[in-house]
Structure formats: structure tokens, C-alpha cells
A and B are shown apart, each in its own frame.
Chain A
């Protein structure tokens, strides 16, 4: 009985969390955007903004192509791996760049390219890396080095469910990569489109990498400035929304194009992966070792650059470490606390969307609605999420007294949940489908109620993947900047460390910034460990 009460408590808490974070963002956005543009606001962007839009499209497209270019060989290698443990090791290495704070990738490249001596800088200089006007290309390369895990992971999962047969047929008379491209990839078109859409959306909405690489006229950077100035308008969210609509329209179009792929991915929860049992013991080949080395190089590239910086100035690094620990201690603690709580709240929210087929209609409907809402906020630009929360809570909170906006990190956590809560919810829904029907029927015959069936039968099968997803959410939350910069509380005991690190990359002392960047690499390592230990949901009693 205690378990059932605890589950019901967690479920209601999950609903409340979703309503107060994701729900607040969506309702505020709809209410303020629905009346249309503000009286003094032109719907049609200025030629300057169109220029920004074009540059951003070019940059995001290039980044997406490059990300695919990197991801496909890895997917082909993953296709050939038969041992579950080997696959998890490679997955762990692949996932690391994605969870690494994006600015860290950019900062590492920036350090490398601006070193006064050194072979790397000379090579980069020789290939025209620092050429005037090439900054958006640099940003595209760095974006690709951050985002390539998305297509790699989606395509490798798609291969296991959709492309394996085509690959095996093509493999009869073709080499590994060729068989993958000609045999498997055409069968995986829908997930491929979803991967392309996700990569493009993240590349186009990132506002941290382009400025560090010196790229100007970038849409997302301009939108951050628009969001910062939005509070002077009567409808701040409406103002940002109607400034950002061309990018939003593009994002929605891409999201719609990705729906068939998302449906395919969602349906994978209904079936078991035939060859992913983790029990086959084929020895890893040279391709696996090569892929691991290459993925490791990409994953640890920023850390290696930072370590070489440390190596050249050990004494300075020691001082910088002490200063960074002194200066950013409270920010670090606050960020750690907020990230951990965001993970926990995401876990609670995921319990809110786990449904049983015999659940009350309104419960199932609420679960679906919440899931759809989280999917929508996940693709919203962070500026809109941040503005929605900041503007709404600013209105209702009196700055002269204790209030939830200035003194607590609720807005900050809500923004993080709106951006990354989707991971937990997707994992929860996918794994929920894998619970053996026979067990559920058995419980029903024994007279178990719906909450009892979820708490006693479903949760034991699915809690581990959800907990892992919550940990991943917490890792991503630690590195988020776009929405955090708009929602971090002024009177909380500390602010967002990622925002501070990003700011120091522009204004700060190099040795301290490098130390901080190295510290901010920790979530990626944790995420890699999660990836390596990722549990498969139990599929039999």
C-alpha cells in the first residue's frame, strides 16, 4: 500500500511540476503571441534580420551535413558490432560531445587556433581557418563536433530496428560502409530525417558557439538580445515570438517532417531488438577499435587542449584553480543543486505520463497532453522559454520581498525542464511499452488496481532507464546557457556556472576560464559513464 501511495504522490507531483513549468511556458506563450505582433512591431523582419536568417541557415545546414558526415561511418561501425558491451562503450564515447557544454568545444578550438606557437595553430592558419569572413564556417565545424552524436545515435538505433536486413543483404557483395549506405540507409529514411531535423534545430538555435568563434549576424545571438530587451514591451513573449517567427516556422516545418521518423522511433518500444541481447560474444574488429579511438579523440579533444594549456603554465594553473574555486564556489554549488533537482523533477514528471491501458481516460489524456507539451517546448528556442518564464514570474513577484522568481531557482529549473525534460518522458513512454503484457494481465486477474499495476508491475521494469535518463537530464542541465541566462535568480545564493563560464570565455582571464571549462567537462564524463552502463529494460520476469 505504501508503494502505491508513494507512486500516486509522485505522479501528482509530476503533473504539478509539468503544469508549473512546461504548462506555464506554453500557456504564457500562446496568450501573448495569439493577439499578433505588437502595435509598433513589424511582422516582416528587416533586411538586416533576413541577412542574419540566411547566415544562420547556411551555418546550421553546413553543421548538419558535417555532423552526418561524421556520424554515418560510426553508425556503420555500430552496425557491425554484435556484442552489447562493445556497443555501449562506443555509445558512451559518442554521447560525450553532445553532453559537453557547447561553449567548451568552441573555446578549445579558439585556444588552439590562437596559440602563438604550435603546429596545430600553424596548420589551422594554413588551411585558412582564421581567414576573415570564414567565422560562420568555423562555427559550423564546431557545431558539428558537438552535435554529431544525434544522427549517430538515432541512426544506429534505427539500424538495429529497420536497416539490419537490408544491410546484411547488401553486405553479400559490398564493403561495410558501402553496404550501409546502399542497403540500410534507404530503409532508414524516416529516422534519418528526424536526425537531420534535430541536428539542424539545435545548430540553428545555439547562441553560444557562434559568438565565441567570432561569427556575426547570427539569428540566435540576435534573439538573445531581443529577449534581453523584451521586458520593456507590454507583451514580452509576444514581442520575442513575433521577432522569432521565421525561425520558429522553419523549426515547426522540420518538426513536422520529422514526425514519421519520431513515430517509427516510438514504435520501437513495441518490439524487441532481435540482436541486441548483449550476449553475443563476437570479438571486436579493427573497425571497432578505430571507431573508439576516433570517437575518443573527438570526445576528449577539448579536455586535451585544456590539459596542454595547463602543462605550459603549471604554477599559473594552480593559482587559477584556487581563484576559480573561490570565485565560483557558490555558482558551482547552486548549479549542482539545480541540475540535480531538475533531474529529480524530470523523473517525477515522467511518472506523470506513465499510463496503463485501463487508466482513467482523463489520466491518459493528461499524460498524452503533457507529453505533447514537453515535445513542443523541447523544440522551442531557449529565448522564448526564458522570456516566457521570466516575464510571467516578474509580473507576479514583488522584488522588494521574498518571492519565487528572485529568491528561488524555480524559473531556472522550469526552463531546464522545458528544454530537457523530454528525454526522461520519451524514455519513460518507450520503456513503458516494453512491460510484458502477460504480467499485467496476471496482476489484473489477481485484482490489482491500475495504480497498483503501474507501481508494482510496470515501475520495477522501467525505473532504471528512467533514472538514467534523469541523470542525463541533470548533466545537460548543468551546461545549459540560453534559457538559464534569462531565468537564473538574482537573489539565490548562486547563479548558473555555465553562464559564468561562457561569460568568462569572452571577458575573463584565460587560465581561470580554462580551469572552469575543464571542470565543466565533468557532466560529459558522467554522461559517458551513464551511456556505458545504460540498462536495458527487463523484458521477462
Chain B
């Protein structure tokens, strides 16, 4: 009995995912079609990358990073000028590095304020979200950058071997990398330790402030990577992009089993969460439910997931 409960708790996310898939297969005609499956995976890949970043920030237990949408927009719009179609490949690489640098810099800024000033992450990132969204609008002035480099467009819209869209490949690659970083490297383990118990982490010699900055920097870096892929997919850079990502990825990591108290969660959980959110949106589209319901479903998922997490952990501590 107890074994069954533990098994269910461990694989409940995959079970939910399968249930949604079975439900959609039975409920609609066009779900279990190769093109639709690829489509769902492609749609979910952006959210998956953002959710990985959100998870890195949330593992620390200091709160969520809601500036990720603005980080995505700011880094990609700043670098867009370098990523246009020209003959110099060095300039392209500089452009990509520039975008990644901006992402990391915003993450470090967030992390430093959260670590050294001991402020709640949600308030700090609320502030930086406004600042960088405003900066993006101020730089772009409502214009769009078009004519991006083919290599960038390949990252967002191209297909590997002519079949698998590149965003899926990149999302998978980043998931494996994040999972390896979290499980195998010292810095990754420290993220979990600081999140689980900051005091004992401090007393066991971990530089907690540095770890917090690292977690938020990872979140910024992943947002910047997602930004470059997003540019490639749209083919243009504009100031509006990425507004919905913060809310969606909080939903994704919540259903993916990342605890809001920190210290619990895995890269694969975040990916499954992103898939569940995208599947629900896709399913609602197939069932021609109004897209206005998306926010309700997303919010309900966040609340349900934290409730399940809360009651499950209460159960475990009682045993």
C-alpha cells in the first residue's frame, strides 16, 4: 500500500500527462496525428526552456522570478541589431553572446538584490520586469527589426534532418544539460541545499549568497536563449514579446513538482509541466474552447498543484 502511494506520488505527473493525452485522443480526431504531436512539442519547447530557468530560480526557495518575460524581450531586442542578415559570421556570434550576457546580467542583478538585501524575489523581479520591459519599449520605439540572419531563423524555424523542428532539439539539449548541472555538479547540488535549508547550507560552508545569484543568473541565461529561439521563430524582433511566459512557466513548474518552498524539483519535472500546460492549451484549441479560458486553467493549475504539494507533504510528515 505504502509502496503504491510512493510510486503514485513519484510518477503522478507522467500519469496526468498520459491521461490528458488519452482524453484528447478520444475527444478529438486530430490530436494523435504526427503533425499535431510535433506541433505540440514545438509549441511547448519555448515554454519548456523558460520553465527550466524558472525552476533554477525557484529551487532556492526565495520565490519566483517573474522578470523572465522581460529578460527575454530585452536581451533579444538589444542583440537583434547584430543578428540581422550579413556576411560576417563573427558578428553573429558576438550578437548571440551579447544576448546571453544581457540575460545573465539581469539575472545577477536580480539575484544580488534578493541575496544581499534579503528581499522577496517576487517584488524585486516585479520591479526589474517593469524596468526592462520599459527599456525594451524605449529602445524599440514600436518598430520591429526584420531580415534576421538565416542561422537565427534556422534555430527557431528550421528542422533537423528535415523532420524535427530545431526548438525541440534545443529544448531537449538544454534539459539534459540542466539536469546534468543540477545532479552532477557541485553548484547544482548547492542550489538544492540552499533551497532546502539555507541555515544548514550556510553552516556547512556554502556561500549561500553566491548560490542565490547563480540560480537567478541561470534563469536569466535560459530566458536569453529562449529569446534567441523566439526571434528565429517569429523572424522579427519586437518589444511586445514574451509577456505571458512568466505566468505560464509558474504553472508549468508548479504542476511539474517544483516546490515553492524550495529545494525540491527536477529538470524533467519542469519539462513535463510545460508539456501538460501546452497540451491543455492545444486541447482547448482542438475542442474549440475560447482562448480566454487559458488564464483560468493556468491559474487553477497553479493553485491545484500547490494544494496537492501541500497535502502530500503534510501526509508524508505525519507518517
Query: Does A associate with B in a complex?
Result: no
